[in-house]
Structure 1
Amino acid sequence: MMRFLSRIPGLTGWRRHGLAFGAGASGALAMAPLDIAPAMIVAMSAALLLIDGAGPPRSRPPFVQTGPAASRKTELKSAFVAGWWWGTGYFLAGLWWLGAAFLVEADEFAWALPLGVVGLPMALAIFPALGFVLARLVWIPGLGRLFALAAGLGLSEWLRGWIFTGFPWNLYGMALGDHLLPAQMVSLVGIEGLTILTILLCAAPALCLASKPWGLQSGNGRLGALAPILVAGTGMGLILLFGFVRLSLNPTRFVDKVELAILQPNQPQGPSFTIDNKSAILAHYLSLSAPVMEAARKDDVARVLIWPESAFPFILSRDQEALSLIGSRLSPNLWLATGAARLDTDGEPHYFNSLQVIGEGGLLLDNYDKIHLVPFGEYLPLEAMLRRFGLHHFVHVPGGFTAGTARRPLFVPDLPAVAPLICYEAIFSGAVMPDEGAERPGVLLNVTDDVWFGQTAGPYQHFAQARLRAIEEGLPLIRGANTGISAIVDPVGRVIASLPLGAEGLLRGPLPEPISPPLFALYPRVMPWLVRLLVFGTGLWLFLVSHHRQ
């Protein structure tokens, strides 16, 4: 592999583009469900060498002109193009499963499949392309290149999670974040911080290559040549040790006399999911939920039943018949938390994607409206313009959903304060807790409907990201998914119980207790930026030392 990587800086033309595309695609192998973490080493090492191939490292600060302006422009263009091909490979290989959503109602959406499967990865590739350019601007000989890469790609990943409402799906740090031991680092620095550490560790082997025309330094002797790998290995060892200690210090503890029951109905979307089939759909849910409903009438154990996102093809809160039927099956110690659309007719009608709590008799106890909606799925950005091209959102709601106005705890009797997360909201690190001033929740409740993506990698990746929110916040996660993966996760990420993708059933289990807020939960905005500043500062120091020696 090292011989193969050593040829990268000298490649030109389509061989360079093809290599960049393939290297980026290899990084997607590190994502769920494959979780081949070493694949990210290939991707990141190749990224460093591709930027090397844009031209020799500069020995002076980037703001000092050291050559013709055209030469500098050519270097940055070369870095951008390499980053774009690298990013296109990464996102195409990691997000191919989006195509399944366009085939659920193929008569309406199949024509747009290329836009989602190819167009979106090509657009997202602009972010790593920008990261390559940022890195190239401060590219210096030796070890400093590694920190330039981490700073550039780390910043572009932050932008990807923020700009245009954000899409932080499959951040590079997920290569480690989907493995329980290294995932514990997110309790300190969050997934954005772990992403920067992943870039540093996975790109380090490229520094072992000796190719002086490109400014690669191999050190003196065999030990010197292997020093980057030894240092990266030591860093990885420390991360694993931290994870081992943290897991050892936080055994799973459970709340007394509280049982969770998560319904995974495996209810298909499409033509059968209509109001005409209301009775059959409700009967299906109630039949699967019957065991916990019967148990609740026999003892005093508090139970919470969870149904998934968008469980009904009608407005539950306005259907008294359905509410009464559900309420008749509940009892004083059994409550239902379910996803449901909500209609607000106070003024102009607005539809919301909501999570509602229902008690005995069909009484609606509390409601949370989803804040972070899915572009093109739940609403159409630039609607007036895009509808002219035949585009519209996936959900069959007039005008799409309206975003909620406040993130607040959800009241569910017999549970601690609940942080509600509807589907897509669970992927946003540091943005899952209630607004400032609200009490700290004791549990995360995530309801979702990944039926659109079938038996693909998408639901596995979604669950992996939701699980990291539990580790970051030190809170247990209750996850109810229509088609899976439904799970109960403890506050350090252990999966206590789960139902696999595509299965139908009722998952029952105890509620894990939360732990003390980890460092990231206390300072969710500070910790990732502290890592960024540390990486930038180290790179700057290395540059000054290198420049002084010259």
Structure 2
Amino acid sequence: MVKASSARRYGPLRAGPWRRGALAVVAGALPALCFPAPALWWLAYVTLVPWLLLIRSAGSGRRAALDGWLGGAGFLLAVHHWLLPSLHVFILVLAALLGLLWAPWGLVVHRLLGGSPGVGRCAAALVVVPSAWLMVELVRSWEYLGGPWGLFGASQWQVAPALRLASLGGIWLVSFLLVALNTALATLVRAPRARATGAVGVLACAAVAAGGWVWAPQPRGAGTVRIAVVQPGVISGAHSPQRRFDREEELTRRLVGHRPDLVVWGESSVGEDLDRRPDLRNRLAALSRETGADLLVNVDARRTDRPGIFKSSVLIGPGGPTGDRYDKMRLVPFGEYVPARSVLGWATSVGKAAGEDRQRGERQVLMRLPAGGTAAGGLRIGPLVCFESAFPDMSRKLARDGAQVIVAQSATSTFQHSWAPRQHASLAAMRAAETWRPVVHATLTGVSTVAGPRGEIVGTPLGTERSASAVYEVPLARGTSPYVRTGDWAVLGSVGILVCYAAAEVLRRFTRREVRKPAPEHP
């Protein structure tokens, strides 16, 4: 009788574990619609509410943890679904493993919002639930677990107030505020005893966003620099590296007379080591002389001076390589190396995992153009390669070291017709807003774009269908953003909130145990 009554009361939320599990996967996958290509960014303000309500209705903490796990797996599958042609069934294994990170988050949600919570629990949920979410994002951002692709705050890359908040606390602050807003709405919907608390939470989130928009400092203009992007497009078949080089050379020659200060080629734009191929080196130097600009190319080849294959950003001047080289530090798991290859090497037989591990660079590099730009002594650029643009700490370090422009070289040819190119290009706006430094995102086949110091898109991006070169008038900025100065204070604050919450829980349980002890008998 009790079970039947419970099933009638909660409907599909309690009846049938398989149905509930499917609902958890779907609810967790909904936030993927906020990212490009759907780009339903406004959905981020409500998209976690179904998942939160499902977890709070769980009959036990174990069920809530399972709902968190399944929802997390659904989210990862939806955000990374374009990896399916490359990893095949292995993407299901990865989603299941990383989805476990949301199990503790599910426990926290159930503990604070489950049952009939009062004002105290709901008020705590407004800060504890987003703090726990941030810990999930922080852990999964570790490069060996796949990196920070699909952080919730990245869905707001085209929303000016959110970009202003990113300049204060990075993408972490944006994620925190989005989860807090969803938690407040869930409280407003399903916590009759604390609806006022939910309303106050919604107003507080709106006030923080408005306050950031009105009072956050802004970068000061510092002139412009002309940067050209060369995007050759999809080139396949036999001798594709050589044909790609020829196409990039042709597109670069079209820039003669346009007076760029820098020409940027995409990731893996040069397929052979320049020390082994002096003919390619000489052709690049000739292009630099003809255009009157230095070239930043990316060499994906086996080196002569060090063992192994490196992906390296190399600066080319009129006389050839200038000596400035940056070796990619953070590699794409399975795409550029296989973690624990002795154990997971079988992934190469079921997908397109790397047959040989690429080698890692040791440090980030700041390059200075000998001429060009408006700054005395030349323009200072900070190169990143491919998905390194997803890491907030890397662009923040380059800005702190003095980079005036951050250049991200990418290649998304494997995922040309998926959501990946637009998702990747959108990160340029977020990194630019965080650092007050323009970001040039140059690709071989994806979406090449330029974001100004406030995160605004400069000019017209080159879409996936384009094979072209384009010159952008890139605005420079003075000053240091609060996020570059203060770092990940939103993450540290979330850690402090969780520590206080854990201490309060321990104290509460200890106090309750003391109260329950029987009083001593008097003789």
Both proteins in one fold, TM over 0.5: yes
Which of 422, 425, 444 aligns to 1:482? It is: 444
Are 2:237 and 1:271 aligned? yes
CA distance in 2, matches of 1:389, 1:155: 29
CA distance in 1, matches of 2:178, 2:258: 47
CA distance in 1, matches of 2:339, 2:507: 46
Q: More displaced, 120-129 or 238-247?
A: 238-247
Contact 1:477 1:488 in 2 (8 A): yes
> Hey, what does 1:339 align to over in structure 2?
298
* Equivalent position SS for 1:478: strand
1:31 Cα offset (Å) = 1.4
1:252 Cα offset (Å) = 5.9
For each residue in 1:318-339, what CA deviation from the matched residue of structure 2 results, as whole angstroms up to 9, or x when unmatched? 2111111221232283110011
CA distance in 2, matches of 1:306, 1:93: 32
Which of 471, 474, 479 aligns to 1:508? It is: 471
CA distance in 2, matches of 1:388, 1:486: 34
Q: More displaced, 161-170 or 330-339?
A: 161-170
TM-score (norm 1): 0.80
* Equivalent position SS for 1:495: coil
> Hey, what does 2:331 align to over in structure 1?
373
> Hey, what does 2:74 align to over in structure 1?
89
Contact 1:23 1:42 in 2 (8 A): no
For each residue in 1:329-387, what CA deviation from the matched residue of structure 2 results, as whole angstroms up to 9, or x when unmatched? 3228311001112533446x222101000011434431100000111111122223333
TM-score (norm 2): 0.83
What root-mean-square deviation, in Å, do the aligned CA atoms of Structure 1 and Structure 2 show? Answer: 3.4
1:51 Cα offset (Å) = 2.9
For each residue in 1:77-123, what CA deviation from the matched residue of structure 2 results, as whole angstroms up to 9, or x when unmatched? 212210122112222222211124x2xxxxxxxxx42223x333223
For each residue in 1:218-250, what CA deviation from the matched residue of structure 2 results, as whole angstroms up to 9, or x when unmatched? 45xxxxx46624641452354145336659x55
Counterpart amino acid of residue 52 in structure 1: R
> Hey, what does 2:90 align to over in structure 1?
115
CA distance in 1, matches of 2:429, 2:258: 29
CA distance in 2, matches of 1:389, 1:239: 44
Which of 517, 520, 523 aligns to 2:486? It is: 523
* Equivalent position SS for 1:330: helix
Are 2:7 and 1:27 aligned? no
Which of 125, 136, 158 aligns to 1:156? It is: 136
> Hey, what does 2:521 align to over in structure 1?
none
* Equivalent position SS for 1:507: strand
> Hey, what does 1:188 align to over in structure 2?
168
The alignment covers a number of residue pairs equal to 491
For each residue in 1:49-99, what CA deviation from the matched residue of structure 2 results, as whole angstroms up to 9, or x when unmatched? 2332234xxxxxxxxxxxxxxxxxxx3321221012211222222221112
> Hey, what does 1:63 align to over in structure 2?
none
Are 2:184 and 1:204 aligned? yes
Contact 1:20 1:50 in 2 (8 A): yes
Q: 1:511 to 1:91 in 2, by over 3 A?
A: same
Question: Which runs of no fewer than 5 residues in structure 2 stay unpaired?
Answer: 1-8, 373-377, 516-523
Contact 2:275 2:304 in 1 (8 A): no
* Equivalent position SS for 1:430: helix
Contact 1:305 1:334 in 2 (8 A): yes
CA distance in 1, matches of 2:54, 2:482: 36
> Hey, what does 2:64 align to over in structure 1?
79
1:25 Cα offset (Å) = 1.7
1:453 Cα offset (Å) = 0.6
Contact 1:376 1:392 in 2 (8 A): no
Contact 1:419 1:433 in 2 (8 A): no
Contact 1:132 1:149 in 2 (8 A): no
Contact 1:455 1:502 in 2 (8 A): no
CA distance in 1, matches of 2:126, 2:507: 15
> Hey, what does 1:319 align to over in structure 2?
277
> Hey, what does 2:379 align to over in structure 1?
416
Are 2:106 and 1:132 aligned? yes
Contact 1:485 1:500 in 2 (8 A): yes
1:282 Cα offset (Å) = 2.8
Question: Which runs of no fewer than 5 residues in structure 1 stay unpaired?
Answer: 56-74, 103-111, 211-215, 220-224, 297-301
* Equivalent position SS for 1:528: helix
Q: Map 1:276-355 to 2 at 5 A.
A: 278=242, 280-296=243-259, 303-331=261-289, 333-346=292-305, 349-355=307-313
